[in-house]
Structure 1
Amino acid sequence: MNKKKICWITPDCFIDCDLNYFNMHEILKHYDIHWIVLFSRNNRFKESDFEQIKKENTNLTIEFFRFNYKMRNPKNVLINIRIGKAIKRQAPDIIYMNYSIYSPWELPMFYLLPKRHYIQTAHQGEAHIGMGHKKLLNVLRRLVYSRVKYVNMFSKSQAGLFQKHFPNSKIFKIPLALKDFGIPTIVKPKDGIIRFLSFGTINYAKNIDLLIDAACVLYDKGYRNFRVSINGMCKDWSFYQTKIKYPELFDIDIRSIDNSEIANLFASADYFVQPYRVVSQSGPTKISFNYNLPIIASNLPGFSDEILENVNGYLFEPGNVNDLVRVMASAIDTYTCDYSKLKASMAEHTERYYSAEKIASQYIEMFDEVLCR
């Protein structure tokens, strides 16, 4: 019996959400997939990253499109129309659109497509302070989500927010899959130094200055056996640099971190710190889960949905430097007696709730349900 076909659309910024080998293998047992991958001007992934998964699955075809202009350049309307036509040519049974509509030039592609068995993802319940052009985004969200019946989201708290704005939507809630960037080639040094890692694009919403301030306060309190590693792209690093009172505490690498370097970054740390001002759900959190690295994060719904106190990490009051200092100091003080137990409970929790089998089964159930309606 022929399988039903999914046309699955993923932009470069969300490829690490979808390029999960086990998930795709499992879904491909039930559905054929034509995968349309959209590369941005400064794409993180490349076509060769898809060679293995394509080779291993004969019922997976992949088509690549490349954007040569900035997101809101009106010239992008032409490539978006081409994408819409490419989707329609496939005559899919289901369209799974993991491509958020952030620009008016993407609307013609959206309007070209049939909506009966169409699933649109939403990564945020509403536009938040970390997103530019909020008024435009809110208009685009109304134009898109008021016209689709099925929405897939990745966080319970964000789904609750979204439902308030779009009460007629049928919302599926599937956690982001674990993000695997390969096997580390290094082992964390056993030198008595506790290493706190920050990774990802640095901007106002990420609140990395709070982590810098907390590290300096810890030093002032007499702590010496720790380091903070900050890694990622930043447009205004000079602002953060001025806050660093003790340079010897920090390992700084301000640039776009290549995918091939990520596994070693997480393997070299003891804790992953996310002091965000706002969060919907976090991709880097799933990297940390994958490498079994306990997390210290702001007590925001996007984190507290998945980070449980003394199970896979610790939470602190958002924006409160003294509370972050308290948690970091406790992590250092209790490291010898508690850290191995925390790692063990984290591994067990991740296997129970985020195993590839569990995530893949939820996608299959979603597609089956949409087809039946």
Structure 2
Amino acid sequence: MTVVYYMQVSFLDISIELINVLKKHVQLHVLIELTPHGKNLTVLEIEKFPERKTLVTPEEILTKRCYENLKPYFNGTASVHFVMHPHRTGFSYSTLQASFDTWKYIKQFKPDILHFETFGLRTVGMLFYLKAFRNVCITIHDPVPHTGEDSWKVTLPRTFMFGMPGKKKYMFYSQFAKQQFEEHYKKQKQHKTVLQMSPYSFLKNLVKSKDQVQKKYILFFGRLSPYKGIDDLLNAMPAVFREFPNEHLVIAGKTVHGFDIDGEVTSKYRDNITILDKHIPNEELAMLIQEAKFIVCPYKDATQSGVLMTAFGLNTPVIATNVGSFPEFIRENVNGLLVPPNNPEKLAEGICFALRNDHYKVLAQNINSTQAEEMWEGNTEILLKAYAS
């Protein structure tokens, strides 16, 4: 079976896990949609953004260090290319040109399956050519946009993709996402499959020391966006600092356009709170997670979380709000804690509970990241059955 796996670069962290196992079972051609904005997203480190080229290989654009880290995942695939979109806007003449060049490249393989790991405005350019494919799979990460992130740039591609004629199959990474999709898109009766999200292994491979590491702080990491509940986290921290005056919170990630962190709490507790408002390189992120006592995900809403699986990949427990699919993966007081959303008081109670008598160490012992590849192999079996159906 020949599969073309087309993804947006922002989902590369989860995609490389699937690539790593799927390549053993099919002839896998990987296409990664890359934009100037996306060159420092997720696990990538870009050396240069080439001009006047649509399809480029990883070794042409990645830093040497990044290429060596990703090489084990890409080895064994039939091909891997980045699809270059030089224009900053989501739809332009260059978008159409890139789609045409990509189509010419794809059709020579005569793939059995064309699998989109989500999609966006730039993917719409591919619709002109999809009628030639009998089997198109689409992974839906967020059936409903997160708070503060809905716009025509999200709804327009969905209108086109969901209305596309022909046989489609939908993939999800949680039961919650599948149910949410079914509630909001009742007319979409096509085949639907759930792949169980499992711990990510990539950052674990970058950890320099496997020895016992000193746990130093509470960590929030990822995009700083309205739906992430950072305001609730900051409002919870004064109660935490009253009981644990020497505790420290690190917030690490790039702020999205239009979102600002309230400086009242951070100014009052400047010795207890550190804000790293920047893109966090892979090695630094691995170290931050490794040295964290636990991760906090105080989200107002969620579907499934790559942050959760990244944390679990480094055996770090998570305190999360009881939203989205968090309850599917966090077993209460086993590998993490669940608290009500939009409730700083309950969030503070959960954080203090994890800190008392170093209870977070007990939670960490119950995380099993050693069988991550085995879990992803299970997902591949599910995926192959869906491809063949």
Deviation at 1:34, TM superposition (A): 1.2
Change over 3 Å in CA distance of 1:175–1:130 after alignment to 2: farther
Equivalent in 119, 126, 129 of residue 109 of structure 1 = 126
1:148-163 to structure 2, matched below 5 A, reads 148-163=167-182
1:96 alignment counterpart: 115
1:169 alignment counterpart: 190
User: Match of 2:223, SS?
Assistant: coil
Change over 3 Å in CA distance of 1:287–1:295 after alignment to 2: same
2:54 alignment counterpart: none
Equivalent in 334, 337, 360 of residue 339 of structure 1 = 360
TM-score (normalizing by structure 2): 0.83
Confirm or deny that 1:202 pairs with 2:224: yes
Deviation at 1:317, TM superposition (A): 0.8
Letter paired with 2:232: L
The size of the alignment, in residue pairs, is: 353
2:29 alignment counterpart: 34
Letter paired with 2:247: F
| Worse-matched range after superposition: 64-73 or 276-285 | 64-73
Equivalent in 7, 12, 27 of residue 9 of structure 2 = 12
How far, CA to CA, are the matches of 1:16 and 1:177 in structure 2?
Answer: 12
Change over 3 Å in CA distance of 1:136–1:27 after alignment to 2: closer
Equivalent in 217, 222, 237 of residue 215 of structure 1 = 237
Deviation at 1:50, TM superposition (A): 5.2
2:321 alignment counterpart: 298
How far, CA to CA, are the matches of 2:21 and 2:208 in structure 1?
Answer: 28
How far, CA to CA, are the matches of 2:127 and 2:373 in structure 1?
Answer: 30
Deviation at 1:293, TM superposition (A): 0.5
Letter paired with 1:68: P
1:318 alignment counterpart: 341
TM-score (normalizing by structure 1): 0.86
| Worse-matched range after superposition: 309-318 or 90-99 | 90-99
2:278 alignment counterpart: 255
Confirm or deny that 1:123 pairs with 2:141: yes
How far, CA to CA, are the matches of 1:188 and 1:209 in structure 2?
Answer: 30
Letter paired with 1:189: Q
Confirm or deny that 1:140 pairs with 2:157: yes
Say if 1:155 and 1:173, in contact at 8 Å, map to a contact too: yes
Change over 3 Å in CA distance of 1:36–1:237 after alignment to 2: closer
Say if 2:19 and 2:74, in contact at 8 Å, map to a contact too: no
Deviation at 1:224, TM superposition (A): 1.2
Q: Which runs of 5+ in 2 are unaligned?
A: 47-57, 60-65
1:33-72 to structure 2, matched below 5 A, reads 33-42=28-37, 43-44=39-40, 45=44, 46=46, 47-48=58-59, 49=66, 52-53=71-72, 56-57=75-76, 59-72=77-90
Say if 2:8 and 2:32, in contact at 8 Å, map to a contact too: yes
Letter paired with 1:197: L
Say if 1:208 and 1:275, in contact at 8 Å, map to a contact too: yes
Percent of aligned positions that are identical? 20
Say if 2:113 and 2:136, in contact at 8 Å, map to a contact too: yes
How far, CA to CA, are the matches of 2:118 and 2:99 in structure 1?
Answer: 11
2:374 alignment counterpart: 357
Deviation at 1:83, TM superposition (A): 2.2
Say if 1:130 and 1:278, in contact at 8 Å, map to a contact too: no
How far, CA to CA, are the matches of 2:4 and 2:67 in structure 1?
Answer: 16
How far, CA to CA, are the matches of 1:143 and 1:231 in structure 2?
Answer: 36
Equivalent in 167, 170, 189 of residue 214 of structure 2 = 189
1:83 alignment counterpart: 102
Say if 1:292 and 1:346, in contact at 8 Å, map to a contact too: yes
| Worse-matched range after superposition: 299-308 or 288-297 | 299-308
User: Match of 1:248, SS?
Assistant: coil
User: Match of 2:206, SS?
Assistant: coil
CA-atom RMSD, angstroms?
2.3
1:242 alignment counterpart: 264
Say if 1:209 and 1:243, in contact at 8 Å, map to a contact too: no
Letter paired with 1:241: G
How far, CA to CA, are the matches of 1:357 and 1:218 in structure 2?
Answer: 38
Change over 3 Å in CA distance of 1:240–1:86 after alignment to 2: farther
Say if 2:207 and 2:283, in contact at 8 Å, map to a contact too: no
Change over 3 Å in CA distance of 1:117–1:291 after alignment to 2: same
Q: Which runs of 5+ in 1 are unaligned?
A: none
Deviation at 1:237, TM superposition (A): 7.0
Deviation at 1:117, TM superposition (A): 1.7
Letter paired with 2:214: P
How far, CA to CA, are the matches of 1:205 and 1:41 in structure 2?
Answer: 25
Letter paired with 2:98: I
Instruction: Write the deviation string for residues 112-138 of structure 1: whole angstroms up to 9, x where unpaired.
Output: 1234221111101223324231x5533
